[in-house]
């Protein structure tokens, strides 16, 4: 049968049109989220509940982020910080859970002391993280260090640490020191924790006075207050807690790239990676208290387009040189984590299975006389 060139040409043209249309549709899908984020109507006034007092760490953090977020959002909304202190952040979080609107006009700033009570089943907690969606998280790290009388190097100090009881001045067994206490226990240290410190700063001062053999500080406090002690030969760094990468693996802290993580020290000492219920407890409280130390949350039924808009606004400024320069003093060498990565890490951190919870309850009771 002879070939009809006209028909063939028409068919080819038809295929070309379909390909162009299909390509346009695919490209359009890639633009949908960005267009929605740009076109969505952002509330003119946003109330950002901070369940801590004015001048505290989370308040300062929120006031640092507020202008960046406002300027990056459509319409440059007014972001009002509403401080609702009490109960170690539980009061403000409870109030937000009851009163927050789902129209994008209400945000909540949380910290480790908001996450931990929810994870530990504190009866005062009336909020549930599954009812909220994260916009952004900022991580921090921390370092465990020892008196030089235990040893002049990390290895010799660790050897001594595992051969004799050591004192640590701490706030309470279920606070920010919890993953540190678990880590030290897993290494085999006999830690005699002296609780009642009003802050980690008080713990550091006890260390400086020689009343504590070991201490722990988060990154900002370590860099400003402990590094001078290290340089003066008055403290020996042992290990860092590390940070989470996007896949959820604990890796070296960018603030302390030459310092091994707890995981590395454990593996070197025991010949295998840490595992079991005790490690699960460490990993989850480290993730919720350090890798996701501070969070911006909104009610879960906030319109998806608004959630996308808030996340995109954060992405827009986080990568700028101006933000990185300004953030260096406020956040250290840590990059904020945004969107689905935060959600994935938060879901994992806040879910504790019964076996891990039972181990934690028994350990807290037997080692530190605390009940959950």
Give residue-wise pLDDT tens across range 149-182: 999 999 999 999 999 999 999 999 999 999 999 9
191 and 65 belong to one structural domain: no
Helix axis angle for 340-350 and 112-120, nearest 10°, is: 40
**pLDDT computed for residue 39 by the predictor:** 66
Strand partners, 215: 145
Residue 207 to residue 72: CA distance in whole angstroms: 44
64 and 94 belong to one structural domain: yes
Residue 86 to residue 83: CA distance in whole angstroms: 10
- Tell me the pLDDT tens digit for each residue of 223-242: 999 999 999 999 999 999 99
Q: Is residue 370 part of a domain?
A: no
146 and 284 belong to one structural domain: yes
Q: Is residue 276 part of a domain?
A: yes
302 and 280 belong to one structural domain: no
Q: Say which DSSP state 148 is in.
A: G
78 and 169 belong to one structural domain: no
**pLDDT computed for residue 372 by the predictor:** 86
299 and 257 belong to one structural domain: no
Please state the domain count of the chain: 2
204 and 270 belong to one structural domain: yes
- Are β-strands 45-50 and 243-244 bridged in parallel, bridged antiparallel, or unpaired? unpaired
CATH number at residue 208: 3.40.190.10
CA dihedral 61, 197, 124, 287 (to 10 degrees): 50
What pTM was estimated for this model as a whole? 0.87
How crowded is the C-beta side of 170, counted as CA atoms within 13 Å? 23
Q: Is residue 304 part of a domain?
A: yes
56 and 123 belong to one structural domain: yes
Q: Are 140 and 290 in contact (CB under 8 A)?
A: yes
**pLDDT computed for residue 14 by the predictor:** 41
278 and 147 belong to one structural domain: yes
Residue 182 to residue 185: CA distance in whole angstroms: 5
173 and 216 belong to one structural domain: yes
CATH number at residue 330: 3.40.190.150
269 and 229 belong to one structural domain: yes
149 and 283 belong to one structural domain: yes
Cβ-in-10-Å burial (0-12, 13-18, 19+) of 113 comes to buried
Q: Is residue 32 part of a domain?
A: no
What is the extent of the structural domain holding 101?
45-139+292-338
Residues 6+ apart with CB under 8 A from 149: 213
Q: Is residue 329 part of a domain?
A: yes
Largest CA distance in the chain: 101
Residue 244 to residue 232: CA distance in whole angstroms: 31
Best CA proximity match to 262, nearest among 154, 348, 360, 163: 154
Question: From start to end of the chain, where are the E strands?
Answer: 45-50, 78-83, 106-110, 132-138, 142-146, 166-169, 191-194, 214-218, 236-240, 243-244, 250-251, 294-299, 337-338
Low-confidence ranges of the chain (pLDDT < 50): 1-37
């Amino acid at each position: 049968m002879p070939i009809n060139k006209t028909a063939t040409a028409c068919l080819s043209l038809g295929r070309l049109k379909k390909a162009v249309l299909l390509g346009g549709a695919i490209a359009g899908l890639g633009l949908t989220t960005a267009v929605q984020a740009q076109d969505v109507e952002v509330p003119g006034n946003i109330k950002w509940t901070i369940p801590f007092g004015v001048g505290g760490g989370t308040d300062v953090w929120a006031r640092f982020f507020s202008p960046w977020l406002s300027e990056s959002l459509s319409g440059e909304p007014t972001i009002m910080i509403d401080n609702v202190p009490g109960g170690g952040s539980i009061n403000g979080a409870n109030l937000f859970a009851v009163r927050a609107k789902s129209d994008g006009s209400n945000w909540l700033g949380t910290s480790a002391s908001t996450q931990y009570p929810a994870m530990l089943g504190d009866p005062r907690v009336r909020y549930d993280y599954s009812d909220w969606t994260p916009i952004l998280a900022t991580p921090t790290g921390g370092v465990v260090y020892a008196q030089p009388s235990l040893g002049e190097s990390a290895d010799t100090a660790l050897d001594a640490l595992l051969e004799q009881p050591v004192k640590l001045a701490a706030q309470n067994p279920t606070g920010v020191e919890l993953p540190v206490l678990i880590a030290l226990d897993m290494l085999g240290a006999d830690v005699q924790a002296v609780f009642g410190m009003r802050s980690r700063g008080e713990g550091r001062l006890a260390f400086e006075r020689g009343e504590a053999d070991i201490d722990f500080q988060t990154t900002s406090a370590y860099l400003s207050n402990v590094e001078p002690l290290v340089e003066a030969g008055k403290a020996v760094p042992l290990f860092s807690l590390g940070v989470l990468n996007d896949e959820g693996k604990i890796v070296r802290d960018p603030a302390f790239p030459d310092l091994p993580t707890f995981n590395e020290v454990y593996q070197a000492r025991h010949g295998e990676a840490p595992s079991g219920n005790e490690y699960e407890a460490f990993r989850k409280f480290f993730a919720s208290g350090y890798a996701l130390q501070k969070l911006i949350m909104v009610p879960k039924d906030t319109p998806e387009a608004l959630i996308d808009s808030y996340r995109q606004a954060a992405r827009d400024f986080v990568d700028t040189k101006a933000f990185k320069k300004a953030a260096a003093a406020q956040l250290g060498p840590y990059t904020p984590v945004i969107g689905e990565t935060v959600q994935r890490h938060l879901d994992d951190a806040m879910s504790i299975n019964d076996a891990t919870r039972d181990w934690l309850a028994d350990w807290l009771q037997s080692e530190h006389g605390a009940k959950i």
